[in-house]
Amino acid sequence: MKVNGTPTRTVWMEGSTVRMINQPLLPHRFEIVDLPAYTDTARSISTMVVRGAGAIGATAGYAMAQAALAAPDAGFHDAVAEAAKVVQATRPTAQNLFYAVRRVLRAVEACGDDLTAAREAAVAAAQDIADDDAACCEAIGRHGGPLVPEGARVSTHCNAGWLAFVDWGSALSPVYVAQRQGRRPFVWVDETRPRSQGARLTAWELAQEGVAHAVIADNATGHYMRTGQVDLVIVGSDRIAANGDVANKIGTYSSAVVAAANGIPFYVAAPTTTIDPDCPSGDRIPIEERGQDEVCYTWGWSDEGRFIRVRTTPNQSGARNPAFDVTPAALVAGIITEKGIVPATPEGIASVARR
């Protein structure tokens, strides 16, 4: 995808340094962050400098590669294993993170005591994870593109575009394919409180690609569905259980329920690395609860050109802040993967799941 006309990935690695887009500054400022050590890269995940299932996975893989490059010869494998614990502790819900850590660890362990080979294997595995993520998302666009006909009005939630992955994105990839094929889709962009990833990130992406869209308050989605102004919903996912239940950004479940009530197909787009075959149902998916300040405060640019935080709730009011919810498989019309569109059933999931 492009930033001001220049092809750009969300995260990449140069030498032993991880480089990524500083997402909290978007859409008002575009900045690349350099992260020299795996602890810096891990911190970028927990602080949401990078976010989104695929981007988190690629970043975790790069962090593990950095750890292998920096680990001393004495106690090498112990140091890499300790780094894995640090990376895995950054966020609990996104399956891609755990997939990436396991994949790099397996590559390192396969080299045994050949530490030069182990370091090279870690870097190669991390790069393969990132490249695979980009390729999967491009394939999701090819498979999902036909679902977006001429002038289709698509509703989405949060950001599951290329900023949430290495490139192309999941939920927005079919939209980008439709746009580039001249079908002129329109996207309803939920704000997605409390961090407003829809208003800040999805809207920015769509503007970069010239896709017609409108940012709406989360609570407006049902209105546009009931009044016949939404043709389909496509959202992403942070973890898909073996039975087809889907965890995604908080508010996704509400959108799915209203879509079902209005006969609107609700699709989930995700690479198969998001599937957790060892998780039997959505009830077993850990739901991250983030700090209450994200609900009590809002960040933005003032008219004077300053990036500031303002409180929007009473000082004496506390808040709750679950980052995700679970949409039952029965509400999902299909899951768009790099291998094709499969039903949200145990059989459908098993047919494409990786380990």
Residue range 83-127, pLDDT digits in tens: 999 999 999 998 999 999 999 999 999 999 999 999 999 999 999
Percent of the chain scored above 70 by pLDDT? 100
Q: What is the pTM of this model?
A: 0.95
Q: Are strands 232-235 and 266-269 parallel, antiparallel or unpaired?
A: parallel
Do both 272 and 203 map to the same domain? yes
Residue 97 lies in a domain: yes
Percent of the chain scored above 90 by pLDDT? 95
> What's the angle, vertex CA 213, arms to CA 178 and CA 336, rounded to 5?
40
Which residues touch 249 (CB under 8 Å, ≥6 apart)?
157, 158, 192, 197, 235, 236, 238, 323, 324, 325
Residue 316 lies in a domain: yes
- Assess whether pLDDT exceeds 80 at residue 229: yes
Residues of the domain holding 176: 143-350
Average pLDDT score over residue span 53-68: 98
CA distance to 259, 264, 343, per residue, from 230 (Å): 9, 8, 22
- Assess whether pLDDT exceeds 90 at residue 283: yes
Residue range 166-177, pLDDT digits in tens: 999 999 999 999
Q: What is the CATH number of the domain that holds 187?
A: 3.40.50.10470
Residue range 305-346, pLDDT digits in tens: 888 999 999 999 999 999 999 999 999 999 999 999 999 999
Residue 355 lies in a domain: no
Phi, psi of 111 (to 5 degrees): -90, -10
Domain boundary among 138, 170, 189: 138
pLDDT attached to residue 5: 85
Domain boundary among 119, 138, 157: 138
Helix axes 76-88, 53-70, angle to 10 degrees: 160
pLDDT attached to residue 81: 98
Residue range 144-155, pLDDT digits in tens: 999 999 999 999
Phi, psi of 26 (to 5 degrees): -70, 150
- Assess whether pLDDT exceeds 80 at residue 355: no
Do both 104 and 156 map to the same domain? no
The catalytic residue positions are 238
Do both 229 and 342 map to the same domain? yes
pLDDT attached to residue 137: 98
Domain boundary among 79, 109, 138: 138
